[in-house]
Amino acid sequence: MKFTFANSLNRTGFKQNYLLWIITVVFTIVWANSLIWTSDINNWLLENALTFLFLVVLFLFYKKYQFSDLTYLLIGFYLCLHVYGSKYTYADNPFGYWLQDVFQSERNHYDRIVHFSFGFLLAYPMRELFLKWFQYPKMVAWILPIEITLSISGLYELIEWAVADVFFQEQGVAYLGTQGDIWDAQKDIFLAFSGALLSTSIVSILKKVIKN
């Protein structure tokens, strides 16, 4: 294997990987805190359904697909951002209100931060998956995370519409968190796409610099 950019491949298993234990414990605490002190339990359940499924997949395939510590750190950080948002609903997130006051913005931008982070933080883990485990060419592994981020973001907006308008109409406003912006979905997709593009570009530049 020539994939050495992270320089921290997990070859020792979960029990010996102390950083992975720390990431797991920190996320568990953040997740539990978001559940215990949530201001809207129904919204919390909706927001965390996909989180639970994602964690199940990671757990089931851990022995077959082990990633670098950097990948697990990025995934853990993104999940903490997401579940912290689900604690209050994205539109009413305290950190977002603080940023709103600091920058005198018209809306709570915490949801924008998480959508951008989806692309920025998870593009590298996807790139590692395609390079290390699927043995895709480097160019394909560079492009696919961007395309998948764009596709998943669009699919997620469709899921949000279905959940909020068809299945759980009473939770619709809280779950969508559009805050009156009719272009909210399009902006969320663009931010995730931009984050993935920026992340893969940074990684590619760093790899070239390290080689030189």
pLDDT of residue 63: 84
Neighbours of 107 (CB within 10 A): 16
Show the DSSP H helices in the chain as ranges. Answer: 18-36, 41-60, 69-88, 94-103, 110-128, 138-162, 172-176, 184-211
3-class secondary-structure state, position 5? coil
Q: Poorest-confidence range of 28-32, 105-109, 144-148?
A: 105-109
Strand partners, 9: 68
- Section 109-121 average pLDDT: 95
pLDDT at 130 over 60: yes
pLDDT at 209 over 90: no
Answer for the pair 149, 123: CB distance below 8 angstroms, yes or no.
yes
pLDDT at 158 over 90: no
At residue 68, φ and ψ (nearest 5 deg) are -70, 160
Q: How far apart are CA 31 and CA 28, in angstroms?
A: 5
What is the dihedral sign for C-alpha 11, 12, 15, 19?
A: negative
Q: Could you tell me which residues come within 8 angstroms of residue 14 by beta carbon, excluding any fewer than 6 positions away? A: 20, 21, 62
pLDDT at 133 over 60: yes
- Section 192-196 average pLDDT: 97
pLDDT of residue 5: 44
pLDDT of residue 126: 96
Answer for the pair 171, 164: CB distance below 8 angstroms, yes or no.
yes
pLDDT of residue 89: 82
Q: How far apart are CA 148 and CA 129, in angstroms?
A: 13
> Given the structure tokens 């560079």, which residue do they identify?
142
Domain boundaries, the chain: 18-211
Answer for the pair 182, 107: CB distance below 8 angstroms, yes or no.
no
pLDDT of residue 174: 57
Q: How far apart are CA 67 and CA 130, in angstroms?
A: 11
pLDDT at 65 over 80: yes
- Section 169-182 average pLDDT: 62
- Section 26-55 average pLDDT: 92
Please, which pLDDT band fits residue 13 given cuts at 50, 70 and 90? low
Q: What is the mean pLDDT of the chain?
A: 86
pLDDT of residue 184: 81
Answer for the pair 167, 176: CB distance below 8 angstroms, yes or no.
no
